[in-house]
Structure 1
Amino acid sequence: MAIIQRPGWFYYEKNGERLGEVSYLKEGHGPILTLNHTYVDPSLRGQSIARELVDAVCDLARSEGKKVKPDCRYAAVLFKRFKDEYADVALEPGDNANSCPIN
C-alpha cells in the first residue's frame, strides 16, 4: 500500500476503503502543522502504519520548513518515545493530546 496525500490528510486505501489515516491542520502560511488525528484499522495495527503516516506529516513539515504540534495522543507519545528522531520538527503536545483516543 502506498501513502496517498490530500490537503490536510495522508492515508492508506485499499479497494476504495480507507484503512489508515492521519490528519493535520495547516493554518494559512504559518510555521506549524497541527497533527490532530491518527487512525489505523485494527487489521493493520502493529505494522508501523500509524508511524509511517505521522512520518509523512513530519516529512512535509521538513520540506516546508515547519514544525509539527502533536494534538493527537499517538503522535505525542511517538514524539516523546523517539525524541531524537523528531527533534527537528516536534513541538510540545497541544492541550488536546490527552483527550485524543489512540486508535
Structure 2
Amino acid sequence: MTITAKPGFFYYEQDGEKMGEVSYLTEDHGQVFTLYHTYVDPSLRGQNIAKNLVDAVVEKARNENKKVRPACRYAAVLFRRFPDDYADVALPAAEGHNKDSSAT
C-alpha cells in the first residue's frame, strides 16, 4: 500500500482515485500534529487503511520529534486501544476539539 504525503494530510490512492485520507493541523508553534479528520471509502473499510494513514502521521511526528493530538474520533479510539504503540507521541485530545471521522 502506498501512502502519499502532502502538506496537512496523507492519502491512499487506488486506481488513480483518492480512497482514504487523514488530515492534520500543525499547532503549538509547530510542535504538535492534531489529527482532525480520517476517512476511508466504505468499500475499503476494515482493511487497516485508516490505521496506516494515522501511523504515517505518527511516524512523521517521531521523525520530527513532535507530538500528536488525536482529535478525530477514529484516531482517539486508536490511541486508547493501543496506548503502547503511541505513548511516545500521544497528547490527550483537547476538549471540544473532536471532529467526526469515517474510517471504521
RMSD, matched Cα: 1.5
Deviations 1:8-65 (A, max 9, x none): 1100112321100000111385210111100000111000000000000000000000
Higher helix share: 1
Cα distance in 2 for residues equivalent to 1:6 and 1:27: 17
Preserved contact between residue 71 and residue 93 of structure 2 (Cα < 8 Å): yes
Contact 2:39 2:101 in 1 (8 A): no
Q: Size of the alignment, in residue pairs?
A: 102
Aligned-pair CA distance for 1:93: 1.1
Question: Which runs of 4 or more aligned residues in structure 1 lie more than 6 Å from their structure 2 counterparts after TM superposition?
Answer: none
Higher relative contact order (CA 8 A, sep 6+): 2
Q: TM-score, normalised by structure 2?
A: 0.90
* TM alignment of 1:55-74, pairs within 5 A: 55-74=55-74
Q: Using the alignment, how far apart are the partners of 1:14 and 1:46 within structure 2?
A: 16
Q: Corresponding residue for 2:32? A: 32
Structure 1 unaligned spans of 5+ = none
Provide the TM-score with structure 1 as the length reference. Answer: 0.91
What's 2:53 paired with? 53
